[in-house]
């Protein structure tokens, strides 16, 4: 049975993560199965074809019936209700179709009213229907695909919102509302120092943690303990099972009670993929016991995988689903040969932690571009800590807060003390350098090689002692996944701003020209989000990490405007910067002065026209400014670079008057980074005629309020027969040495 279940899962994975070569291979396998009369191959081909048909049906059924661009009417709140600062979001149902609702809250009073909303409630809205955007940079989070997986095709961008009546909520919504009540109870009655842990471990709500603390747990590879997973489900169900048996209830009634309880528990804790997996596996094991069938753990996890996929096909692309199943498969398969050989409990725990890290590494590399190797050791401390102290302590404090708030005070104080001690220890551990290995997102070939190496590693480990040679191969593949052989120039889409990454061939240097950013405006306290969106932290850092960049040799700030350097603050917290280059006089602006104060350990180089350096055949020369300025547009650094035997001119926000000063230098270039986002105040006709570029790159935000690029600039470039590439229309623009340009949005 196990063999057939494994083949079914393999066929499903091959179908969902298919490439152009897979269908050809399947056809060949079908021919082989027919000739050899192999049941295994025939089953694989059959499941592959059935899954293809199933996914085709799912795709065709997920089509919106709406054609209008505006919506006025009532919606029912059905899922993901969230108020964060001045942002209100929820999944709503309008006339039998689901939408992602987004609304900007106007006043603090309105915010308080929206916080009282519950599932099943109706709201009256006037909104625009907007299709969700796909990722604008390579390897960036694809919001469109994420919503598609939830059967949502449009975003309701709400202009006006009124709270309507409440209909009788369904059983599902009643459970969701109970979850909201528990969350509100915990927030209002428990010490704020431990509330995030109770919210996470009882309701599955992880947003209670400060972004900084959550990031520290993530960095140490123990963040999975802050989410309800198989560990928590098994501990809870096991405790209830044991308690009910001790109370004299028959085993059969206990089993039925738990089977009824499990679906409620899943919804009550947020219905995340790890919880659903653990609950499904527990239910299947209980059923196998009830009907006296011998199902192995491997059979149970395979059946739960298949059921989960049939009910919710797109879940297979979710990182939570992938991590949960990959790690569980690894531990279950290893328990038969590898774990049974370990006699010492300590060595067994270390082995489980190592297996979990190895199995999850490929998922972490693909989605987060890195993985934490120290988690192997930290889990030895934190798993018992959470299992023995934190989780039971949270459950105890929660129950006492309902039964007797007075009796709760002493356990609450003790738990607060222990958690604060744990956090202090955690912050101390977080200072250990190089805890995270940044690998970038591996390409398809590298991904296949890494997966094959991991499978071979465990296959050999089952047969003999730890295969050190294969493990070294795995480490080398992780290193080379971030190795840049050819060299690239990437114009990153940072909205209305500039950020250009130059990767020299063979990892000889990584240079970043500007960091993008937004002008920060002081907001009222109630409007501030838990984790605000920033260009440096939310866009630039993930994009750089996806390219395997853990450090930058040079960061060149062309001038001291927010849209060119505000992202520097968040960037330096995540990516090591070896040298910061800026023009003389750029420090005259407050934004640059503040940045320099936080970068005292970074080498700071002030340049003017004439500064140059060379790495192999790649040359860089500063053409402008000629003298000290004030850090404004016309004081922008203009950089000339020879890359891939082509001349590149990077102009920052240089205006026409600054361009005039360059005309005497007889500049020629193959690729021109257009100044000031395509404003009509830059890119003069005389300058374009002298440079004679073949390509012009314009970095500007989609539908930006300045109207960039201006028609005059486009006309000037088109008259000169220059090919124009724009980040607002084409997303990230990447030039690969020896190949040419490609864009993220085709």
Using the structure block, give the residue that is written with the tokens 């140059």: 612
First to last CA, the chain: 46
Structure tokens at 609: 């026209």
**Pick from 418-432, 633-647, 727-741: least confident:** 418-432
- Give the 3-state DSSP-derived string for 100-161, with helices as H, strands as E and coil as C: EEEEECCCHHHHHHHCCCCCCEEEEEEEEEECCCCCCCCCCCCHHHHHHCCCCCCEEEEEEE
**CATH homologous superfamily, domain 488-519+531-743:** Ribonuclease Z/Hydroxyacylglutathione hydrolase-like (3.60.15.10)
pLDDT band at 8 (very low <50, low <70, confident <90, very high): confident
pLDDT at 36: 55
Identify the CA nearest to 299 among candidates 284, 279, 311, 320.
Answer: 284
Average pLDDT over residues 445-458: 90
Average pLDDT over residues 114-127: 91
In the chain, pLDDT over 70 holds for what percent of residues? 95
pLDDT at 38: 62
Identify the CA nearest to 215 among candidates 573, 595, 534.
Answer: 573
Q: Whole-angstrom Cα distance, residue 445 to residue 463?
A: 27
pLDDT tops 60 at residue 392 = yes
Q: Whole-angstrom Cα distance, residue 33 to residue 23?
A: 15
pLDDT at 47: 78
What DSSP character marks residue 437? E
Average pLDDT over residues 644-673: 92
The CA radius of gyration of the chain, in Å to the nearest whole number, is 29
587: left (phi over 0), alpha (psi -120 to 50) or beta: alpha
pLDDT tens-digit readout, 229-278: 877 888 888 888 888 888 888 888 888 888 888 999 999 888 888 899 98
What DSSP character marks residue 737? T
pLDDT tops 80 at residue 181 = yes
Structure tokens at 614: 């060379």
pLDDT tens-digit readout, 561-595: 999 999 999 999 999 999 999 999 999 899 999 99
pLDDT tens-digit readout, 68-89: 788 898 999 999 999 999 999 9
- Classified as helix, coil or strand, 438 is strand
pLDDT tops 60 at residue 540 = yes
pLDDT at 32: 54
pLDDT tops 70 at residue 130 = yes
pLDDT band at 101 (very low <50, low <70, confident <90, very high): very high
Q: Whole-angstrom Cα distance, residue 397 to residue 605?
A: 56
Using the structure block, give the residue that is written with the tokens 């025939």: 42
Determine the CATH number of domain 70-169. 2.40.50.140
The values of phi and psi at residue 316, to 5°, are: -65, -20
Structure tokens at 450: 């890494």
pLDDT band at 553 (very low <50, low <70, confident <90, very high): very high
Helices 297-311/2-16 angle, 10° precision: 30
Backbone CA torsion sign across 640, 642, 647, 650: negative
- Classified as helix, coil or strand, 583 is strand
Q: Whole-angstrom Cα distance, residue 311 to residue 494?
A: 37
Cis before residue 292, ω within 30 degrees of 0? Answer: no
- Cβ proximity of 708 and 737 under 8 Å: no
Long-range residue pairs from 389-394, CB within 8 A, at least 24 positions apart, any chain: 389/418, 390/197, 390/201, 390/225, 390/415, 390/418, 390/419, 390/422, 391/201, 391/232, 391/235, 393/418, 394/194, 394/197, 394/198, 394/201, 394/202
pLDDT at 137: 95
pLDDT tops 70 at residue 311 = yes
pLDDT tens-digit readout, 596-626: 999 999 999 999 999 999 999 999 999 999 9
- Cβ proximity of 629 and 584 under 8 Å: yes
pLDDT at 1: 63
pLDDT tops 60 at residue 531 = yes
Q: Where are the domains of the chain?
A: 2-60, 70-169, 180-438, 444-480, 488-519+531-743
pLDDT band at 63 (very low <50, low <70, confident <90, very high): confident
pLDDT tops 70 at residue 292 = no
pLDDT at 50: 82
Q: Whole-angstrom Cα distance, residue 263 to residue 269?
A: 10
Q: What is the mean pLDDT of the chain?
A: 88
Identify the CA nearest to 499 among candidates 456, 436, 555, 582.
Answer: 555
Average pLDDT over residues 272-288: 88
């Amino acid at each position: 049975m196990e063999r057939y279940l494994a083949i079914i899962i393999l066929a499903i994975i091959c179908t969902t993560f298919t490439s152009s070569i897979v269908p050809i291979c399947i056809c060949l396998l079908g021919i082989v199965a027919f000739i050899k009369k192999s049941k295994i191959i025939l089953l694989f081909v059959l499941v592959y074809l059935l899954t293809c048909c199933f996914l085709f049906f799912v795709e065709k059924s997920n089509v919106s019936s709406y054609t209008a661009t505006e919506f006025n009417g009532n919606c029912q709140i059905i899922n993901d209700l969230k108020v964060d600062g001045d942002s209100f979001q929820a999944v709503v149902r309008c006339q039998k179709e689901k939408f992602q609702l987004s609304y900007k809250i106007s006043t603090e009073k309105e915010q308080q009213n929206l916080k009282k909303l519950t599932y099943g409630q109706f709201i009256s809205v006037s909104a625009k229907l907007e299709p969700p955007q796909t990722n604008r940079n390579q390897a960036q989070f694809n919001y469109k695909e994420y919503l598609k997986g939830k059967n949502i095709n449009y975003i309701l961008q709400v202009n006006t919102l009124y709270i309507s009546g409440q209909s009788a909520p369904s059983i599902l919504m009643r459970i969701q509302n109970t979850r909201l009540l528990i969350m509100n109870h915990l927030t209002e009655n428990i010490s704020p120092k431990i509330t995030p842990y109770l919210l996470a471990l009882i309701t599955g709500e992880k947003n209670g943690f400060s972004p900084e603390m959550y990031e520290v747990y993530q960095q140490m590879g123990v963040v999975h303990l802050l989410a309800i997973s198989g560990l928590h489900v098994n501990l809870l169900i096991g405790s209830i099972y044991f308690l009910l048996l001790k109370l004299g209830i028959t085993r059969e009634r206990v089993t039925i009670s738990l089977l009824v309880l499990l679906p409620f528990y899943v919804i009550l804790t947020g219905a995340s993929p790890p919880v659903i997996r653990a609950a499904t596996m527990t239910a299947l094991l209980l059923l196998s016991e009830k009907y006296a069938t011998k199902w192995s753990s491997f059979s149970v996890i395979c059946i739960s995988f298949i059921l989960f996929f049939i009910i919710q096909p797109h879940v297979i692309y979710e990182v939570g689903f992938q991590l949960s199943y990959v790690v569980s498969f690894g531990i279950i398969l290893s328990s038969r040969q590898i774990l049974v050989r370990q006699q010492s409990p300590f060595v067994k725990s270390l082995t489980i932690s190592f297996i979990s890290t190895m199995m999850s590494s490929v998922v972490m590399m693909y989605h987060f571009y890195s993985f934490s190797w120290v988690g192997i050791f930290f889990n030895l401390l934190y798993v018992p800590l959470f299992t023995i102290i934190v989780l039971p302590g949270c459950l105890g404090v929660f129950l006492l807060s309902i039964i007797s708030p007075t009796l709760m005070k002493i356990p609450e104080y003790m738990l607060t003390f222990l958690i604060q001690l744990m956090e202090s220890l955690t912050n101390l551990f977080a200072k250990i350098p190089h805890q995270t290995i940044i690998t970038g997102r591996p390409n398809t070939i590298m991904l296949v090689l890494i997966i094959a190496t991991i499978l071979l590693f465990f296959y050999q480990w089952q047969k003999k002692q730890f295969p050190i040679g294969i493990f070294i191969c795995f480490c080398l593949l992780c290193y080379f996944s971030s190795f840049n052989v050819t060299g690239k120039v990437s114009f990153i889409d940072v909205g209305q701003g500039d950020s250009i990454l130059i990767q020299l061939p063979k990892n000889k240097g990584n240079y970043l020209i500007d960091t993008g950013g937004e002008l920060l405006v002081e907001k009222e306290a109630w409007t501030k989000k838990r984790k605000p969106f920033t260009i440096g932290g939310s866009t630039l850092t993930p994009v750089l990490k996806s390219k395997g960049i853990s450090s930058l040799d040079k960061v060149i700030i062309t001038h001291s405007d927010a849209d060119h350097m505000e992202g520097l603050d968040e960037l330096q917290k995540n990516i090591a910067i070896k040298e910061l280059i800026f023009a003389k006089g750029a420090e005259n602006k407050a934004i640059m002065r503040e940045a320099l104060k936080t970068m005292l350990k970074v080498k700071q180089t002030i340049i003017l026209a004439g500064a140059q350096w060379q790495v192999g055949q790649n040359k860089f020369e500063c053409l402008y400014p000629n003298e000290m300025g004030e850090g404004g547009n016309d004081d922008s650094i203009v950089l000339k670079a020879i890359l891939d035997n082509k001349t590149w001119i990077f102009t920052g926000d240089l205006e026409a008057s600054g361009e005039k000063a360059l005309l005497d230098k007889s500049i020629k270039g193959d690729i021109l980074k257009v100044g000031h986002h395509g404003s009509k105040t830059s890119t003069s006709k005389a300058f374009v005629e002298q440079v004679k570029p073949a390509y012009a790159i314009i970095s500007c935000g989609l539908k930006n309020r300045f109207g960039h690029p201006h028609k005059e600039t486009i006309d000037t470039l088109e008259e000169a027969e220059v090919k124009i590439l724009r980040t607002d229309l084409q997303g990230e623009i990447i030039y690969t040495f020896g190949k040419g340009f490609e864009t993220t949005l085709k």
